[in-house]
Amino acid sequence: MRFLRSLCVLCVLCGSSFSALALDREAFTITKYDLEVRLEPEQQRLGARGKITLRNDSAQPQKVVALQISASLDWRAIRAADKPLQFVSQPFVSDIDHTGALSEAIVTLPAEIKPKDSVELEIGYEGVIQLDGTRLMRVGVPEEIARHTSWDQIGRSFTAVRGAGYVAWYPITTESADFSEGNSLFEVVDRWKAREAGSEMNLKACSEPRPDRRDTVLVGEEGVGWGSSHGAVPKEFCAERRYAPLGLAAPTLVVATYQTVVNPPLSLFSFEGHEAAAAKYSAALEPVTNFVTEWFGKPTAPIAIADLADPHAAPFESGTLLLVSMAGEDTKLAGINLVHELVHSAVASPRPWVYEGLAHFAEAVYREQQGGREAALDLLGLHRSAFLDSEKEVAAASQKNVGPPLTTGQPLITTFDETYYRSKAAYVWWMLRDMVGDDALKQAIRNYRAADDTDPKYVERLLEAAAKRDLAWFFDDWVYQDRGLPDFRVQSAHLWKDDHETSEQTGNTEKPGKDVRMLTVTLENLGAVSAEVPFTVRCEASDITQRLQVRAKSTATTRVELPCIPLEIVVNDGSVPESDVTNNFYKIASQ
């Protein structure tokens, strides 16, 4: 991207036409939205009006802005200081919207906006939002799967429309995103989210009342219902939600005939016929709240879990609203989903890897309480493939690198890539817990304050204070930098049977018992990332597990006292994500 832009500048300098200088679609960030949206489920229509504030984040003054909304919506009015502005509306191909295209308004501003200056515009747009899997089917996703993935629509029986990255139902300013072009779509979406994370949105969503239905309109976790029994039919009924800042939330609108159970901080919205699943959530609320309170503090911020009409629809989370089908009656899933949302209710954070990472980590700890460490590691294992491939690329690049550490990859501290701030972050919190123990980690989390998290090293310092241990090496490799993943193997193992020799080697004054053997184990880390890893020496009847810190591209040696004859060594129980797990077994030659 940067390369292409510098190429463009070069063209201009070489004297080619100035018209070749393309419109900078990402020059402006929308720092504030004040929107009123009216939904008409019977017509599948949406009409919106309000104000947006645009800030010029480019280095050049800008006279033109490209405002984009979904291709199924049309611009009606764009004004500044009560005067209509000239604009040209054109289709713009981009996979950032479910239709695979945007309606772009090229707006001429009343005056040139200097870098860092802002301008406020009044806007109005309307149109329909129907089920549309175009962008997925265009790259070969079967229609059936596309429908369960790209489920956004304003529908007669069910309305659910997700924000940026799904449906551009509020204006955005982005370069074209392409699904078929490697990671281009995710790069554009992540860049957009990063630019908007500090923005503010004040949203009022209204729906027309329907005499035969008891609808609820949901904006984020805020729901307002209306039913014919409520008396005179109003013109509309509305829910309001303020996002300040927007953070990672893709603001989402829902209109549905829900049954509502409010049990603060949880509001539960489910369809008729899904009472059994809703009951699982209600039953899990108290034990899960106790678990979350013990680890993360008391959940107080409102959260909502709402039903999806399509039982096969992929679940979706927008901040403190979780949309998930309640057609099934999976008790385990209800507990896990509640854990995740209640952690959000308890811990606010401006940092994605803290906010989402802790919630996914909590799911694993909860799973461990129910089914043991292996069950927890299985749950974490589902996250591993999400970031494994991209980490392998990073590792390959840093392996070849001989100069100072590369600045490529996705450091957790700054990433807006979901696979990192959710999946990799969950592992990082789990590794920290294994290293410092439950008590120190709980103490650090309780001392965490979102408002104080302004220094990148804030979390490291909280943990170091609680654990009384230096963790800079770990944070450097796992949080502040992305150098790929470690890769462990057992380099050698040596069994000492001679009592005398053993006691000299260990410096013990007491000689070990007759049946005690000592095993010297050397672990090697072939990767560029340091970690503390567990390894297990397996005997016929028992196992012995120890932990060892192995620095990047180094070896570390330790001794294990054994009351049995060792058969094999397994390094890493799955708690440390590594690039290659095929070399983790080591057979000990029988002696």
Residues lying near Zn ion in the complex (CB under 5 A): 317, 356, 359
Considering the complex, what minimum distance in angstroms separates the CB of residue 301 from Zn ion?
13
Considering the complex, what minimum distance in angstroms separates the CB of residue 589 from Zn ion?
49
Task: With beta carbons less than 8 A apart as the criterion, state whether 128 and 120 touch.
Answer: no
Q: What is 262-304 written as a DSSP string?
A: EETTEEEEE-TT-HHHHHHHHHHHHHHHHHHHHHH----S-EE
Structure token digits, residue 562: 């054994």
Q: ω before 577 within 30° of 0 (cis)? A: no
Considering the complex, what minimum distance in angstroms separates the CB of residue 323 from Zn ion?
12
Q: ω before 265 within 30° of 0 (cis)? A: yes
CB of 367 or CB of 489, closer to Zn ion: 367
CB of 185 or CB of 321, closer to Zn ion: 321
Q: What are phi and psi of 242, to 5 degrees?
A: -110, 125
Compute CA distances 130 → 54, 212, 384, 396, whole Å: 29, 22, 35, 44
Element (H, E) at 569: strand 566-571
Question: What number of helices (H) and strands (E) belong to the chain?
Answer: 13, 26
Considering the complex, what minimum distance in angstroms separates the CB of residue 359 from Zn ion?
4
Considering the complex, what minimum distance in angstroms separates the CB of residue 356 from Zn ion?
5
CB of 188 or CB of 359, closer to Zn ion: 359
Considering the complex, what minimum distance in angstroms separates the CB of residue 319 from Zn ion?
8
Considering the complex, what minimum distance in angstroms separates the CB of residue 317 from Zn ion?
5
User: What distance, in Å, lies between the first and last C-alpha atoms of the chain?
Assistant: 60
CB of 317 or CB of 578, closer to Zn ion: 317
Closest CB to Zn ion belongs to which residue? Answer: 359
CA angle 555, 560, 564 (to 5 degrees): 135
Considering the complex, what minimum distance in angstroms separates the CB of residue 322 from Zn ion?
8
Q: How far is CA 584 from the centre of its chain?
A: 30
CB of 29 or CB of 318, closer to Zn ion: 318
CB of 354 or CB of 490, closer to Zn ion: 354
CB of 383 or CB of 489, closer to Zn ion: 383
Kindly tell me the sign of the dihedral angle through the C-alpha atoms of 149, 150, 152, 158: negative
CB of 349 or CB of 481, closer to Zn ion: 349
Considering the complex, what minimum distance in angstroms separates the CB of residue 355 from Zn ion?
7
Task: With beta carbons less than 8 A apart as the criterion, state whether 150 and 28 touch.
Answer: no
CB of 37 or CB of 323, closer to Zn ion: 323
| 3-class SS string, 45-98 | EEEEEEEEEEEECCCCCEEEEEEEEECCEEEEEEEECCEECCEEEEEEECCCCC
Whose CA is closest to 333, among 302, 366, 355? 366
CB of 348 or CB of 406, closer to Zn ion: 348
Considering the complex, what minimum distance in angstroms separates the CB of residue 562 from Zn ion?
44
Element (H, E) at 558: strand 554-562
